Amino acid sequence: MNCEQAREEMPGLVLGALDSDQRGLVLEHLRGCEACARELRSLLPLRDALNHPDPSPRLPNGFTERLVGRIGPAGHRPRRRASEVLVHASRALAAAAVLLIALLGVGLHRTSSELARQVAYDARMSALMSRSDVVPVDMRGYRRGARGRLYVSPDRREGVLMLGGLPGLPDGKTYQLWLVSREGAKSVGTFTPLPGGSARLYLRPPHGLDAYERIDITIEPDGGSPRPTGKWVLAGRLT
Amino acid sequence: MRSRINYAQYGDEDLARLLVLGETGALEEISARHAGASYGLALHMLRDPGWAEEVVQDVLLRLWRKPDMFDPARGDLHRWLLRITHNAAIDALRSRRGTSRALEIGAYELDTLPWDGQDPFEGAWEHSRAERVRRALAELPSEQREVVELAYYRGMSQSEIAALTGQPLSTVKTRTRLAFKKLRSALEDEL
């Protein structure tokens, strides 16, 4: 098929109306012809326009409630059992180190150069991680290789966040941790991972972790931001 | 006591990311923003309110279960949902007609072609553009409008349209080309 033949078939292709053999020929030509592929792309806004046949569409009453009703409990992702978690946690603990470089905002544990305080944090983390009923919350990574898991105490008052795969950032940038509720995102603090990309953070918000719906990590300017402005690196649900 | 996040503060791209976390509030916000247009398209194609609602809900549930289906690098969520809705409605029509040809090839494969990252619309949908194309479609000669509507909104192939209308396949193709030329010029006049 040459360019002229391919372009004659493009309206039918955009409408999805070509028979399969003809469609295959056109697509084969398009994959090898950037000029015709560009011509086809120029037609796509027309397809998008055809997707608005009704000037003022209205949803039926109760649509969204019925939609959410169809999700049901199956919509929630299963959590790992604590026994599985502890194996992973102990490996992670051996590899990670605490890094809390600066803290902002909500009065959680503040960075300290005091060794005694650091040791106390470590002790609390170790105590929490040694419990069999700790609840893990996996975080979703938005950057290749980034991973995180928050281990929450059964009373949901405290947690240990284990992070890995965080690349070093250029000068002027830092990682920032947020707890998110309806009122918005509250900064927990900024931190710098170890050279290997791991970090371990201890959280004990004044009103417990149940006061929040989500935990996020973003990349922000050095010193942190009052609200998230940069790209997400990791996020996890606290519900 | 936990308070709910205000999802209206997020853009579409962030809402799609939150679906990955299983946040139903993000799905509700997406539904509030975009499901109306999808429903309008499905209703236009299926002509049955209950069926149209089912199709649109199925589309949103597919997004809920597999949020990675949506790639923001390839276009905005609104248009993506409409394209998926169109495909789903075509599938529903063909299923009812008993035809088995997979219609999604038409739209899906367009999206897998080489992409230079340039979006001809460059941003949010503009109502006036759709209105202009609707008007141009209404003003087409009836035989040209018919081939567009039978193909795009009823899911018929050009061969099926030829059989239905009793016209040669070449005539159907010519009418389609002429219709597209006019619709495209309506869009370009406005650009």
A216-239: per-residue pLDDT in tens? 999 999 888 889 998 899 999 987
Which residues in A lie closer than 8 A to residue B18 (C-beta atoms)? 214, 235
Give the residue with greater pLDDT, A202 vs A34: A34
Q: What would the mean pLDDT of A89-118 be, rounded to a whole number? A: 35
Instruction: Tell me which residue in A19, A183, A211 faces B158 most closely, judged by beta carbons.
Output: A19
Work out the mean pLDDT of chain B and round it to a whole number. Answer: 79
In B, minimum Cα distance to A13 occurs at B106
And the tokens for A149? 């898991």
| Residue-wise pLDDT tens digits, B52-102 | 898 999 999 999 988 888 888 777 898 899 999 999 998 888 776 654 333
CATH of domain A83-237: 2.60.40
Kindly state whether A25 is in contact with chain B, defined as any CB-CB distance less than 8 angstroms. no
Lowest mean pLDDT among A99-113, A114-128, B13-27: A99-113
* End-to-end C-alpha distance for chain B, whole angstroms: 52
ipTM over 0.85: no
Examine the pLDDT at B185 and tell me if it is beyond 80: yes
3-state SS class at A221: strand
Q: What is the pTM of this model?
A: 0.61
Which residues in B lie closer than 8 A to residue A49 (C-beta atoms)? 129-130, 132-134, 183, 187
CA distance B145 to B178: 10
Phi, psi of A63 (to 5 degrees): -60, -50
CA distance B126 to B133: 12
Examine the pLDDT at B39 and tell me if it is beyond 60: yes
Minimal C-alpha gap between B133 and chain A (Å):
6
CA distances from B67 to A113, B13, B16, B95, B170 (A): 43, 11, 6, 25, 41
Domain boundaries in chain A? 3-50, 83-237
Tokens 């950037």 correspond to A34
Number of A:B CB contacts under 8 A? 215
And the tokens for A115? 């060794």
Instruction: State whether A23 and B105 contact (CB < 8 Å).
Output: yes
Task: Output the pLDDT for position B10.
Answer: 86
| Residue-wise pLDDT tens digits, B71-84 | 887 778 988 999 99
Task: Output the pLDDT for position B104.
Answer: 30
Examine the pLDDT at B165 and tell me if it is beyond 70: yes
Q: Cβ distance B58 to B105 under 8 Å? A: no
Domain B1-123 has CATH 1.10.1740.10: yes
Residues in Cβ contact with B54 at an 8 Å cutoff, skipping those fewer than 6 apart: none
Instruction: State whether B37 and A51 contact (CB < 8 Å).
Output: yes
Q: Which amino acid is at B38?
A: S
Strands (E), A74-211: 135-141, 147-152, 159-164, 173-181, 184-191, 199-203
Which residues in A lie closer than 8 A to residue B51 (C-beta atoms)? none
Helical spans, DSSP H, in A33-146: 34-50, 63-71, 82-95, 115-129
Burial class for A195, CB neighbours closer than 10 Å (0-12, 13-18, 19+):
exposed
B1-123 and B126-191 in the same fold: no
Which residues in A lie closer than 8 A to residue B176 (C-beta atoms)? 11-12, 15, 17
Is residue B127 very low, low, confident or very high in pLDDT (cuts 50, 70, 90)? low
Task: Output the pLDDT for position B36.
Answer: 92
CATH class of B126-191: mainly alpha
CA distance B186 to B69: 32
In A, minimum Cα distance to B104 occurs at A16
Examine the pLDDT at B124 and tell me if it is beyond 50: no
Q: What would the mean pLDDT of A164-191 be, rounded to a whole number? A: 87
Is residue A193 very low, low, confident or very high in pLDDT (cuts 50, 70, 90)? confident
Examine the pLDDT at A93 and tell me if it is beyond 80: no
Q: Chain A 50-69, CB below 8 Å of chain B: which residues?
A: 50-60, 63-64, 66-68
Instruction: State whether A239 and B132 contact (CB < 8 Å).
Output: no
Is residue B9 very low, low, confident or very high in pLDDT (cuts 50, 70, 90)? confident
Lowest mean pLDDT among A24-33, A85-94, B20-29, B75-84: A85-94
Domain boundaries in chain B? 1-123, 126-191
Q: Chain A 90-109, CB below 8 Å of chain B: which residues?
A: none
Radius of gyration of chain A (CA): 26
Which residues in A lie closer than 8 A to residue B127 (C-beta atoms)? 52, 55
Closest by Cα among A69, A2, A66, A72 to A30: A2
Which residues in B lie closer than 8 A to residue A41 (C-beta atoms)? 113, 115-116, 118, 120
Minimal C-alpha gap between A95 and chain B (Å):
27
In A, minimum Cα distance to B59 occurs at A67
Task: Output the pLDDT for position A126.
Answer: 66
